[in-house]
Structure 1
């Protein structure tokens, strides 16, 4: 599919009739072309979404490695613990509880975990609302890349300054990796997960993404102020208007609540 066709399916929330027909490297090239189209019509990049970092769900979806795509000013929202998100113009939406990073600066070349942590301003709980334009969520890895890394919306909760957490990269990531989350829908427990599910820890997932981003021709490096959401701690769960979901994280991440509307 052409970039224009991909964007039309995104805007209209219509399903593809077939897969994108691309290999993964070309799918990233196509996704970057869609990025340029969106910028040309006035949308502004606000960071990145990293997906399929959770190894426990790889067999379920048939994608066996991380992917990434752009987060936009039109898809990003912040709240202080509870927010409302519209599902209008989304395709088969699902919800994922994640750890989100806010960047203070561009990380140095060949960044270590310590270097990367020194480049982060804050962490926060997040609800990534993902979508697929492939019927029944049946796709290839290249399809997910061309489909904007399945990104639809991102709700970011209360921010925790990195200065309040362990200062070393390994200690910081260990605290996040051992944290757990309980995902609830309308008060009922739906799923549980842990930070270690995302490539052994969210900071490791961020480091993997940084290297992949810098290896992608034409991609824009991380910038100060960017947000990066690093992958779901549980499975991705279908959502519908009228539902209220919550993610109860262990410290250091606070809880996050969302209500979905049309």
Structure 2
């Protein structure tokens, strides 16, 4: 079984390097359970490290329990690497589409850790957060037509392509009660002057902090997973349905009820 899972990881890494789609892993002989998917993901992570890629954090996915498919009881996570993360010096950015296939845009709240949370309790998670920022994650499926299972996603990096992170803010900058503020806000997603979506904390376990709590709890059940460390960035899941985007468009995000600056994103070829 180990050889089979290592082979799937090698196939996923080769496909990612070549920028080509990969056939579904979950429909191969033997299938792919979620536990096996995380084993494939660990082998894939070792492959990235061997290529010199530097881990800088984690991304969360499936943070909307109302939309969980049968058998899913927790969000999923995948590593973030330095070469896919852009720390912005302002609230404007330009991205080149390059070879991305059918990319989508996800507005998110990103945390930077002061230290690993001592537990998944809310107080310990809040204490672990050094800074907060708005982020835009670009996701693209390695599978045709965005059709895949949660296990396929975990095994191949959770559809991550890039993450743009606005300038960091201290958590107290969100107001006298950051915990309450992070549970009661909305973000408008605008494309070329037309509103496309409105995001809310409901999509991220009820609050980005609760999404981080879920990650801590999930990692506690995965003894082979790298533990969280000081300085890691955690992007906590999309606040609305991911929006397809294209060359020539200009996107803007605008927060209401939360003292986070929005971002302006321009898309080039």
Global fold match (TM > 0.5) = yes
CA RMSD of aligned residues (A): 2.0
Identify which of 97, 101, 114 aligns with 1:104.
114
Match of 1:147 in 2: 156
Deviation at 1:166, TM superposition (A): 5.1
| Cα displacement (A) at 1:56 | 5.3
Give the conservation status (yes or no) of the 8 Å contact 2:108–2:235: yes
Q: Does 1:117 align with 2:150?
A: no
Alignment of 1:49-198 (within 5 A): 49-55=59-65, 57-58=67-68, 65-79=74-88, 80-108=90-118, 110-165=119-174, 171-198=177-204
Q: Is it true that 1:6 corresponds to 2:12 in the alignment?
A: yes
Tell me which of 1, 14, 26 is aligned to 2:36: 26
Distance 1:68 1:27 in 2: 11
Q: Specify the structure having the higher radius of gyration (Cα).
A: 2
2:55 to 2, 25, 45: 45
Shift of 1:249: 1.2
Unaligned runs of 5+ in 1: none
1:261 aligned onto 2:268: yes
Q: 8 Å contact 1:124–1:156 — kept in the other structure?
A: yes
Could you give the per-residue CA deviations for residues 196-219 of structure 1, whole angstroms, max 9, x where no partner exists?
321111100001011112322321
Question: Which blocks of at least 5 consecutive residues in structure 2 are unaligned?
Answer: 1-6
More moved, 89-98 vs 204-213: 89-98
